[in-house]
Amino acid sequence: MPVNEQVTDSVTQVNTKVVGETPAMAMGNLLMSTSQALGGAAHNGSASQQQAQITMQAATVQGVNSLMAIGGAVIGRGAEGILEKG
């Protein structure tokens, strides 16, 4: 049974269009996935910096607290020595 030439021409044109668009679609998908991965990496980097900053601030506070405690003990001992000699 013969098929109308207009049908076969239409199918051929659609197939050609799909084959022609495939590289552009593949490149678009590649660029989208790459940009999403880079965005995620940037987000992870900034989140890591925030967490590190919080840890460093806590360490600094602990260090200052230790220095203040040591300073109080030294001042108390010095005052005790002055009062005993005075």
pLDDT tens column, 62-81: 988 887 877 677 777 777 77
Q: Read off the amino acid at residue 26.
A: A
C-alpha 84/C-alpha 1 separation (Å) is: 123
Is the pTM higher than 0.75? no
User: For tokens 């925030």, what's the residue?
Assistant: 50
User: For tokens 């996935």, what's the residue?
Assistant: 33
pLDDT at 22 over 70: yes
Entry field: residues in the chain: 86
Return the closest-CA partner of residue 65 out of 53, 57, 75. Answer: 57
